[in-house]
């Protein structure tokens, strides 16, 4: 797939307008027309005091609309609020049915005339790489209720996002997008490129920088919502279904029932503990997460089929789901849910076969991307990404604390898990080469190396695609996340004063895809032909501007690293971590021994009564500079300390949480 470009035409010394290909103009106009058509149905939801609270979308001319439950939760005492449309009109709003488990609610705008609405799509036909439009009112930017529009691609489908805290909801079968989703977008629509509603925007991933988009948003799939529409229209509280049984992973792509409650739907159907689960309502089940994902999309009372049994004898059972345990909502009660049939969608088969602009590169690249799980300490996350560079199981990734463990694991795109060993490190380029190991004498097979490309052939404006596992979104055997972006510039990386010290000082490829996130380092950056053009680098953070650089190390540097790594004896290349020692002057600081010489000087312990304790240093403080010298690793810190004697002052710049502070330490004689 070739990228489109056109040279500037120059006549008589004056630049003229660049002529874009007709196909590009047609696609652009189609997008503009689609936005104009659906924008009038996007709702800004306000409380009784007419303060901003979230977004929604109308799905019929009678004013019925969808939003998130968490957007209207504070309106439940009265069920009343207000809603603004893009023409500036304000309407009374009533909350009808709610689905707290699925984070969905139905509202109705009161109007004497028909209202604009959108067409429901088919989220089962959505593919990774499809264009995705989000609309809503983030940060309540438009007081005239004109919705904000953001454009991105689908990064993952059928994602299961479990809640990790009391304010983070469980989302099943959700659509992951790199479309910008920010506070205020909650409850707003996610459209496909034709303007069909494919989801309701809800959760997004945020980290460190406050509630600002970091490239991972999640929408509740419209096909899940369709099953609950009759309940929501009737003003009831929806109840999700339960089998009354749980499953567990029992080997590669093998799932068995481990608990079957007495009297449950599963028990009444004859399901027994220890039986293998093969399919749930037509969906092949390879992991326990997959069952949770699909089960969470069905209402109580819904009939499903279960294919289970032994390795030699399978049977298909029909089970009617029971109500799942649901927390009661304080101060408000809903009637039992009614059950409705799913809405039929035409041309599903045709759309299931359809491709998109990014599908060929995505399909070709995903088998070469590896999820890595290893060491994590303090603010350093214990997961990342790697790229297969040979069919023998060689993987290249970034040099990080993640690798400093004997229990380093690599998860392939098909869910297979291998042990991984570091065979070569390059502290200057911040790259590492791994070798995958299986239980002897078996060796990894069926591995696909990513084809090498050339970063020098790219010019600013070319599309690029990033493959990585940010925020450990793909925790099981799901594919990694895919983000689209544009190559912005090729610049030297020079992380200086007031920025995170960083050893690499070569050129990098700056992109506008959000790749500077936990878990992304070590991922691949490709062009639209699927050629590997760069490796996503370690996070570079500026404390002064509170920003991060989205970049990749050019593939030419990776190739040079691979040549050098393969020319070195792996046994000689592996160095052993050393234990921190104080210099002539005593400070009382002990750093984490894990990966001591190679990465991030975090404080593990401060001796009681030492100069460091008296100065206020704490465990988990990260030392950024020592006497105005960057300390990218513990060895650099030790070198500075060795030059200072008793009575001299060691001035440290440390990062504690989100704060950066300067702490002077008066060194003493080493205690005896």
- Which residue intervals of the chain bear CATH 2.40.10.120? 20-238, 358-574
* CATH 3.30.420.240 describes domain 589-666: no
pLDDT confidence of residue 142: 62
Domain with CATH 2.30.42.10 in the chain: 241-323, 589-666
pLDDT for 21: 80
| Alpha-carbon distance values, 372 to 468, 494, 639 (Å) | 10, 28, 32
Specify the pLDDT at position 194. Answer: 94
Share of the chain above pLDDT 90, in %: 53
For residue 518, the Cα-to-chain-centroid distance in whole angstroms is 9
Mean pLDDT, rounded, for 165-178: 74
DSSP conformation class of 427: T
- Report the predicted TM-score, pTM, of the whole model to 2 decimal places: 0.76
Answer yes or no: are the C-beta atoms of 130 and 362 closer than 8 Å: no
- The catalytic site residues sit at 70, 103, 186
Residues 6+ apart with CB under 8 A from 220: 68, 102, 103, 104, 171, 174, 199, 200, 202
pLDDT at 161 over 90: no
> What are the pLDDT digits (tens) for 450-501?
998 889 888 899 999 999 999 888 877 788 999 999 999 999 887 654 445 5
Residue 606: pLDDT band (50, 70, 90) is very high
- pLDDT exceeds cutoff 90 at 281: yes
Are 6 and 21 spatial neighbours (Cβ–Cβ below 8 Å)?
Answer: yes
Q: Any idea what DSSP says for residue 517?
A: S
How far apart are alpha carbons 390 and 559 in whole angstroms? 12
Whole-angstrom distance, CA of residue 155 vs CA of residue 215: 9
| Region of 103 on the Ramachandran plot (φ > 0 left; ψ -120 to 50 alpha; else beta) | left
CA distances from 5 to 16, 18, 91, 463, 510 (A): 15, 10, 47, 11, 19
User: Helix, strand, coil shares of the chain as percentages rounded to 5?
Assistant: 15, 35, 50
Residue 416: the pLDDT is 87
Q: What angle do CA 202, 41, 211 make, to 5 degrees?
A: 30
The neighbour count for residue 439, using CB atoms within 10 Å, is 8
Q: What is the mean pLDDT of the chain?
A: 84
Per-residue model confidence (pLDDT) at position 493: 85
**DSSP per position, 202-266:** EEE---SS-S---S-EEEEEHHHHHHHHHHHHTTPBP-BEE-SEEEEE-STT-EEEEEE-TTSHH
- Is the dihedral angle over the CA atoms 299, 119, 357, 134 positive or is it negative? negative
Q: What is the C-alpha to C-alpha distance for residues 229 and 341, in angstroms, rounded to an integer?
A: 9
Contacts by 270-275, CB closer than 8 A, 24 or more apart: 270/317, 271/243, 271/245, 271/306, 271/308, 271/317, 271/319, 275/308, 275/309, 275/310
- What CATH topology corresponds to 358-574? Thrombin, subunit H (2.40.10)
CA distance 500 to 494: 10
Model pLDDT, residue 337: 37
Within 415-529, residue ranges assigned H as helices are none
Model confidence pLDDT, tens digit, residues 57-114: 999 999 999 999 999 998 998 999 999 999 989 999 999 999 998 999 999 999 999 9
How confident is the model over 421-442, as pLDDT tens digits? 999 999 888 999 999 987 655 6
Q: What is the pLDDT of residues 116-128, one digit of tens each?
A: 999 999 999 999 9
Query: Tens digit of pLDDT for each residue in 327-361?
Result: 444 434 444 333 334 334 445 555 555 678 888 89
**Residue 456 buriedness (CB in 10 A; 0-12 / 13-18 / 19+):** exposed
Alpha helices in 504-661 (DSSP H): 555-566, 570-573, 611-615, 634-642
387 cis-preceded (ω within 30 degrees of 0): no
Percent of the chain having pLDDT more than 70? 83
Distances (CA, A) of 319 to 195, 242, 245, 269, 432: 36, 10, 12, 6, 51
What's the mean pLDDT in 559-580?
60
Distance CA 146, CA 143 (A): 8
The domain covering 241-323 belongs, at the CATH homologous superfamily level, to PDZ domain (2.30.42.10)
Condensed to tens digits (0 to 9), the pLDDT of residues 16-65 reads 455 668 888 888 899 999 999 999 999 999 988 887 779 999 999 999 99
CATH number of 20-238: 2.40.10.120
500-538 pLDDT tens trace: 557 788 899 999 998 988 999 999 999 998 999 999 998
139-153, 258-272, 325-339, 564-578: least confidently modelled range? 325-339
């Amino acid at each position: 797939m070739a990228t489109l470009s056109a040279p500037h035409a120059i006549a008589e010394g004056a630049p003229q307008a660049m002529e874009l290909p007709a196909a590009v103009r047609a696609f652009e106009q189609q997008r503009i027309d689609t936005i104009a058509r659906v924008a009038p149905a996007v709702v800004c939801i306000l409380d009784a005091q007419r303060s901003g609270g979230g977004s929604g979308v109308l799905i019929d001319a009678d004013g019925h609309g969808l939003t998130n439950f968490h957007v209207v939760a504070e309106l439940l005492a009265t069920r009343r609020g207000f809603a603004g449309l893009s023409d500036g009109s304000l309407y009374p709003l009533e909350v009808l049915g709610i689905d707290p488990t699925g984070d969905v609610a139905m509202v109705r705008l009161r109007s004497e005339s028909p209202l604009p609405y959108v067409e429901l799509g088919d989220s089962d036909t959505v593919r990774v790489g499809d264009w995705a439009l989000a609309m809503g009112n983030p940060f309540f930017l438009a007081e005239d209720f004109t919705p904000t529009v953001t454009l991105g691609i689908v990064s993952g489908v059928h994602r299961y996002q479990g809640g990790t805290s009391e304010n983070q909801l469980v989302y099943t079968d959700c659509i992951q997008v790199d479309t910008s989703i920010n506070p205020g977008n909650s409850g707003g629509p996610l459209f496909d490129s034709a303007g069909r509603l494919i989801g309701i925007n809800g959760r997004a991933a945020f980290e460190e920088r406050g509630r600002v988009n970091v490239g991972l948003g999640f929408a509740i799939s419209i096909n899940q919502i369709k099953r609950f529409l009759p309940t929501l229209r009737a003003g009831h509280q929806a109840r999700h279904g339960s089998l009354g049984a749980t499953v567990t992973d029992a080997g590669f792509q093998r799932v068995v029932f481990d608990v079957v409650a007495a009297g449950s739907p599963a028990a009444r159907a004859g399901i027994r503990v220890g039986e293998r689960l093969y399919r749930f309502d037509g969906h092949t089940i390879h992991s326990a997460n997959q069952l949770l994902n699909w089960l969470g999309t069905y209402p109580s009372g819904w009939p499903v089929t279960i294919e289970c049994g032994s390795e030699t004898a399978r049977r298909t059972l029909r089970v009617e789901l029971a109500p799942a345990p649901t927390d009661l909502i304080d101060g408000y009660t809903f009637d039992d849910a009614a059950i409705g049939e799913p809405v039929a969608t035409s041309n599903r088969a045709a759309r299931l076969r359809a491709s998109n602009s990014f599908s060929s590169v995505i399909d070709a690249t995903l088998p070469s991307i590896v999820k890595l799980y290893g060491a994590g300490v303090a603010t350093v996350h214990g997961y990342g990404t790697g790229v297969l560079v040979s069919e023998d199981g060689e993987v290249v990734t970034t040099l990080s604390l993640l690798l400093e463990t004997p229990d380093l694991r690599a998860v392939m795109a098909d869910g297979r898990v291998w042990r991984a060993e570091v065979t070569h490190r390059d502290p200057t380029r911040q790259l590492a080469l791994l070798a995958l190991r299986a239980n002897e004498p078996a060796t990894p097979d069926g591995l696909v190396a990513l084809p090498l490309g050339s970063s020098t052939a790219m010019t600013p404006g070319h599309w690029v695609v990033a493959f990585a596992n940010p925020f450990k979104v793909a925790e099981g055997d799901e594919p990694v996340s895919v983000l689209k972006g544009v190559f912005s510039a090729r610049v030297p990386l020079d992380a200086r004063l007031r920025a995170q010290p960083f050893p690499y000082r070569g050129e990098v490829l700056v992109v506008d895809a959000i790749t500077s996130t936990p878990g992304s380092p070590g991922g691949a950056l490709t062009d639209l032909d699927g050629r590997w053009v760069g490796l996503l680098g370690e996070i570079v953070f500026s404390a002064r501007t509170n920003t991060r650089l989205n970049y990749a190390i050019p593939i030419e540097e990776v190739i040079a690293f691979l040549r050098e790594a393969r020319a070195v004896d792996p046994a000689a290349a592996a160095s052993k971590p050393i234990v921190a020692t104080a210099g002539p002057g005593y400070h009382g600081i002990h750093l984490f021994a894990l990966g001591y010489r190679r990465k991030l000087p975090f404080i593990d312990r401060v001796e009681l009564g030492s100069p460091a304790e008296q100065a206020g240093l704490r465990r988990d403080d990260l030392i950024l500079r020592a006497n105005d010298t960057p300390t990218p690793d513990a060895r650099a810190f030790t070198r500075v300390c060795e030059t200072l004697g008793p009575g001299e002052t060691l001035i440290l710049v440390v990062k504690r949480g989100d704060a950066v502070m300067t702490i002077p330490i008066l060194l003493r004689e080493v205690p005896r």
